[in-house]
């Protein structure tokens, strides 16, 4: 891999830089056409990490080339894997084998990627060297204790800032211990960090989750040859058991289109009258489709066509048409399957008739921003009646387009940024965001793709 391969990544956001990129979205005509959103971010991170541990060559098709994933690609290269970009979304890795990573010479800068840093902490925790991590201002404010605690039980050491925040040093253990760990909160990131640490740990590592979370790590490990089982427990929940020190075999990986990214054009099509949009090859893993289940309950016209399986992951084409939405209650137990989609669901609820109540949202407080507070403030600024408490958001829709007309501070959060650009496509007045740079972390072509479907998103001077 040459340095030029990574020059495609947008410039990092550092505290104190005055490089904001304001953007405005105005009311559009009907959205129409076919599009493919970028590759699934969760699958992309894992494909790079596990490809670096596999023996032989792994070729990845459809990799998301947003800033978050490119940070992971750089990190795997720093840890000794051969990482080569072959073309748009097509990458090749020659792995080091389980336990074969090497100590990086410098600090691993993970940008804005909470998934990347937490999973990599697990990966290096059972290698006998020290790894230093940092990130942008948003990532440095996010909690890492949730992975530090179980990884410490395995034997790794940690030095962090107050509150378990980055920058941090992970002191890998040469004598890791297998553990059985019950997740205190539903978190695919914590589960995956433990399983990745368990790869280089003798014996059996077990993670117990009371609520099922996205299982991309388990599916990919099994596809690469690991001995991993999932047991449904009689008292509820699941036990995921991994036998350590397997030989993973490099294989082709096809990354499905990201269902979380697809949510933005899907809700835009539901909100803009006359719209008819097809989104191709979207991942429809049942542990990721809570949003689409909820939209169906809201009377959304969404169809799944051409269903198939690619590299162990179910995919389908989504056909979405403008719909008159109705308010619903969204139960707390659905949160793990749609935790990243609540910002755009709140926008859909703003166009619905009646009250939409979303429960169990405490996890939104510790995302790239406090997404619960950000959505409540932003919707209120756009004329929507909202109620917010510690873990609940209630949106009172009127069945008519919201007023809009506000400028939203997105606080370096890509999902807040895209959600309010979608709102502006159908609100009475345009909606602006103060900084669109964060969109590059997951969906760099979002404005261009939406404009190609008929949206009106433009840079805003000043």
258 annotated active-site = no
- Cα–Cα distance, 120 to 124 (Å, whole number): 6
- The CA-atom distances, in angstroms, between 114 and each of 118, 368, 380 are 6, 8, 28
354 exposed, middle or buried (CB, 10 Å; 0-12, 13-18, 19+)? middle
- Pick left, alpha or beta for residue 261 (phi over 0 → left; psi -120 to 50 → alpha; otherwise beta): alpha
- Cα–Cα distance, 51 to 250 (Å, whole number): 6
408 exposed, middle or buried (CB, 10 Å; 0-12, 13-18, 19+)? buried
- Cα–Cα distance, 99 to 106 (Å, whole number): 20
Find the catalytic residue in 258, 317, 340, 440. 340
CB 413 within 8 A of CB 366: no
48 exposed, middle or buried (CB, 10 Å; 0-12, 13-18, 19+)? buried
DSSP 8-state assignment for residue 364: G
Task: Record the tokens describing residue 128, joined without a space.
Answer: 């006998």
Task: Record the tokens describing residue 457, joined without a space.
Answer: 């998103």
- Cα–Cα distance, 283 to 90 (Å, whole number): 18
Task: Record the tokens describing residue 211, joined without a space.
Answer: 């609520």
User: CA angle at residue 321 from 315 to 323, to 5 degrees?
Assistant: 125
Could you tell me which residues come within 8 angstroms of residue 21 by beta carbon, excluding any fewer than 6 positions away?
A: 435, 436, 437, 459
Could you tell me which residues come within 8 angstroms of residue 145 by beta carbon, excluding any fewer than 6 positions away?
A: 163, 164
220 phi and psi angles, rounded to 5 deg: -75, -40
- The CA-atom distances, in angstroms, between 59 and each of 7, 89, 100 are 21, 10, 19
Q: Which residues are catalytic?
A: 340
């Amino acid at each position: 891999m040459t340095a030029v391969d990574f020059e495609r990544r947008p410039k990092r956001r550092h505290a104190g830089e005055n490089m904001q990129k304001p953007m405005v979205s105005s009311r559009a005509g009907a959205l129409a056409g076919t599009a493919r959103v970028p590759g699934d971010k969760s699958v992309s991170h894992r494909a790079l990490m596990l490809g670096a541990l596999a023996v032989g060559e792994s070729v990845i098709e459809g990799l998301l080339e947003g800033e978050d994933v490119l940070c992971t690609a750089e990190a795997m290269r720093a840890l000794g894997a051969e990482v080569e970009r072959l073309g748009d979304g097509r990458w090749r890795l020659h792995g080091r084998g389980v336990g074969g990573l090497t100590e990086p010479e410098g600090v691993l800068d993970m940008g804005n990627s909470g998934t990347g840093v937490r999973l990599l902490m697990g990966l290096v925790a059972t290698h006998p060297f020290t790894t230093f991590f940092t990130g942008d201002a948003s990532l440095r404010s996010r909690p890492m204790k949730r992975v530090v605690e179980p990884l410490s039980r395995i034997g790794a050491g940690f030095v962090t800032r107050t509150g378990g925040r980055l920058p941090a040093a992970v002191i890998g253990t040469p004598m890791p211990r297998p553990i059985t760990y019950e997740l205190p909160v539903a978190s695919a990131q914590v589960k995956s960090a433990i399983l990745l640490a368990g790869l280089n740990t003798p014996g059996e590592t077990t993670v117990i989750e009371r609520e099922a979370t996205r299982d991309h790590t388990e599916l990919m490990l099994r596809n690469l040859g690991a001995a991993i089982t999932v047991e449904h427990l009689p008292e509820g929940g699941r036990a995921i058991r991994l036998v350590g020190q397997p030989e993973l075999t490099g294989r082709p990986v096809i990354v499905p289109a990201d269902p979380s990214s697809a949510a933005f054009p899907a809700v835009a099509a539901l909100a803009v009258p006359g719209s008819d949009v097809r989104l191709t090859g979207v991942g429809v893993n049942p542990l990721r489709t809570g949003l689409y289940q909820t939209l169906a309950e809201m009377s959304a016209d969404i169809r799944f066509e051409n269903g198939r399986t690619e590299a162990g992951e179910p995919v389908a084409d989504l056909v979405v048409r403008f719909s008159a939405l109705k308010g619903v209650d969204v139960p707390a137990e659905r949160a793990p399957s749609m935790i990243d989609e609540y910002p755009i669901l709140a926008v859909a609820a703003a166009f619905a008739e009646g009250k939409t109540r979303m429960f169990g949202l405490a996890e939104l407080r510790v995302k790239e921003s406090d997404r619960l507070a950000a959505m409540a403030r932003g919707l209120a600024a756009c004329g929507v009646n909202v109620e917010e408490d510690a873990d609940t958001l209630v949106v009172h829709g009127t069945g008519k387009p919201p007023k809009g007309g506000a400028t939203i501070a997105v606080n370096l959060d890509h999902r807040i940024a895209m959600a309010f650009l979608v709102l502006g496509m159908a609100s009475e007045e345009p909606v602006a965001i103060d900084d669109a740079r964060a969109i590059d972390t997951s969906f760099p072509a979002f404005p261009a793709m939406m404009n190609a479907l008929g949206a009106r998103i433009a840079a805003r001077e000043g």
